[in-house]
A and B are shown apart, each in its own frame.
Chain A
Amino acid sequence: MSDAADPPREGADRHAGRAGDPTAPDHPRPIGPPTADGRGPRDARPALAARHLHPVAAVLAALDNVRDAVVSVVVLLVIGSQSGRLGTMAAWLAVGGAALAVSVGYARWRAETYAVVDATIRHRHGLISRDETVVPLARVHSIDTAQGPLQRLFGVYELHVQTAGGGARGEIVLRAVDPGETARLRTAAGLAAEARTDDLPRWRLTTRDLLVVGVTAPQVGILLPLVGGAVALADSVLGESGAREALIERAPTEAGGLALLAAAALALIWLVAFAGALVAFAGFAVVRDGDHLRIERGFLQRRATSVPLARVQAVSVAEGLLRRPFGLCSVRLETAGYGREAGAARTLFPLLRTAELDSRLGDLVPGLAAATTTSATPSRAAAPDRAPAGSPGAPAGAAAPPSADGDWQRPPGRALRRYLLPRTLAGLAAGALAAAIWPVAWPLAPVLALAGAAVGLAAFRAAGWRLAGGRLAARHGALNRRTVLVSAGRLQDHSLGQTPFQRRARLATFSITVASGTSAAVAHLDAAPAQALFDRLRPTPGR
């Protein structure tokens, strides 16, 4: 244990874990070019000598131990209660457990160091398996911060060393580093200090909008019609009970209970979604600082994330069921590294008026917005003459004629039944199944069939694409309408598919994939324009 406790010294240290290389006692040579300040990759002088985290890290580790031990302590107490000496046992467990947690926490803190050496960031940690993670500075694109309640109490930050490959969690996580050390690590890593000027393009979520985010959280939008349907069914059953009381004598109480249960479930869902939105997005602010977006958010845990604009491959605009009627949407970043992250980590705008979308994008992701103009005019100046991409004001007519750049291309009218039929039949089948199990539920069949048709109609009205100035917008979805905006030159792939039915009707389904792995498919387009789009998106030599 004393070995682990010694801060490792350059050149005389031992490697363990995944970065260890038994054949090379020296630090492995990092891959990649020298860093911006001219330090060569073989410069052995440590830019930042190995150091421990802030002592709060020991407290955090001890608390982790306590949390991990809770289950076994409860089990022991249950066993202890059989023997009738519960009090003594609880006291011993508390004292012994606390001592153990504190000493292990302290040992873990002693074993954990980080350093900047040889154009790499090195992180050593672990008591039993002593791991070392080595990340070349050339691969580090930012050092993000997060602050939980305890960290905030002591004024320290949790640091996440972010690389292109990693997710929001970071390749290296340092759980407690004070602000001075944070600045020193950033400097040693060759990352510019954060600008604190006020003239940077920025966007902030107002408190009022935060409440709207909570009220219209997407989970609510999805579950609301389900719960509503259940309540409506219960009501209709309730209404009929008089006419058929012999058959469903007990139905009123069952149905009343069902309605109550549904209402309770709805309230609970709403409350959870509301609380989740508040915790995730309180104090949400995004700033464009040079070639990075800096996003700050969170209530209990404050996070500051930095995303290089070069990695923003696309954005997707979601207009949820509860937001679209009010002209509201939310916008998510589609980046290569964050593809598998939870929604909150990828959010650019938790709530935005759809009409403002283009000017806000022009401020913060100019690369994507500039692509909408054919000329090289600054995106800001050109913003007003573009129709909002995810705008509900897109032509609602069935078949827009194939025309010049910039118009929404929508499925032709003859595609409508292909949107309606499968969903209507699915609703009918589900209703029939329910009626077969519980005959009283027969009204469900027409209700669900109608609901299916409504969803199909919504999907038909949403579907479409637009190619303007090298930016492709592809829109799909029904209740939750989603528009993917991407520079045409940055597609990962694009496809055109046809079922035998579509072939006969000269229709085709067009789909794209962007770097986050997100894909968008626009179904039942007129085959000829779809083929023309497919061909226009082919990479041209020299792009």
Chain B
Amino acid sequence: MDDRHPEPDQRLPAQARTLFALQATAGAAPLVLLALGARMALDSAGAPGWTGVAVLALAALAAVAMVAVEPRLRWRNWRYALREEEIDLRRGVLVVTRTLIPTIRVQHVDTQRTWLSDRLGLRAVVVHTAGGSHRIPALRPDTATAIRDRIAELARRPDDV
């Protein structure tokens, strides 16, 4: 890519993979429990033994994809860049989306932390515009603070909203 149209180049820290995986576990666990319940129901209803096993295997496969594969791909595809004029985000596993937010449009910036992200030493940065909000989901605390302060500084230029 030429200099006039730079691509985002900053990656999320490696701990982000863990955070995504743990968050995905919260979604995958009910799925597996549901499959276990379905298997018991099938067995007690007298369905052939393999149907229950198949349901369970499918659920296990989905759970592995959700917990092991998807978070890794999400982490691998995430890129961001903060330039004077714009915030540049690219993310997505299947649908890859690139978004530009002019810094002059930023209304305010938040950093967010949860119990889980604290354990992993991560913060999220949320950028709010008049049209909506955008989130960089996992950054090291010092990076997050630096980015937040820098965006706030860049956003201080007058806007006409």
Contacts and interface: CB of A to CB of B under 8 A. Distances in A.
A and B bound? yes
A495 interface: yes
B130 interface: yes
Given A517-B131, A539-B86, 7 more contacts: A492-B132, A493-B101, A496-B98, A497-B95, A499-B94, A518-B131, A539-B104
Contacts of A514: 131
Query: Which of A513, A516, A534 has most B Cβ within 10 Å?
Result: A513
7 contacts: A313-B161, A493-B132, A495-B100, A498-B96, A503-B96, A515-B130, A539-B103
B97 A495 contact: yes
Nearest to B131: A492
Contacts of B92: 497
B160 interface: yes
A493 B134 contact: yes
Interface in B73-118: 84-86, 92, 94-105
Contacts of B85: 538-541, 543
Contacts of B98: 495-497, 534
A84 interface: no
Given A310-B160, A539-B86, A540-B85, A492 B129 contact: yes
A429 B130 CA distance: 39
Contact of A492 (B97, B101, B160): B101
Nearest to A310: B160
Interface string A495-513: 1111110010000000001
Interface of B: 4-5, 84-86, 92, 94-105, 129-132, 134, 160-161
Nearest to B99: A495
A52 interface: no
A497 B97 contact: yes
A336 interface: yes
B160 to A, nearest CB: 6
B96 to A, nearest CB: 5
Given A491-B102, A513-B131, A538 B86 contact: yes
Contacts of A492: 101-102, 105, 129-132
A494 interface: yes
Contacts of B104: 539, 543
Nearest to B105: A492
Given A491-B102, A495-B98, A538-B100, A513 B132 contact: yes
A535 interface: yes
Nearest to B98: A496
A311 interface: yes
A494 B127 CA distance: 14
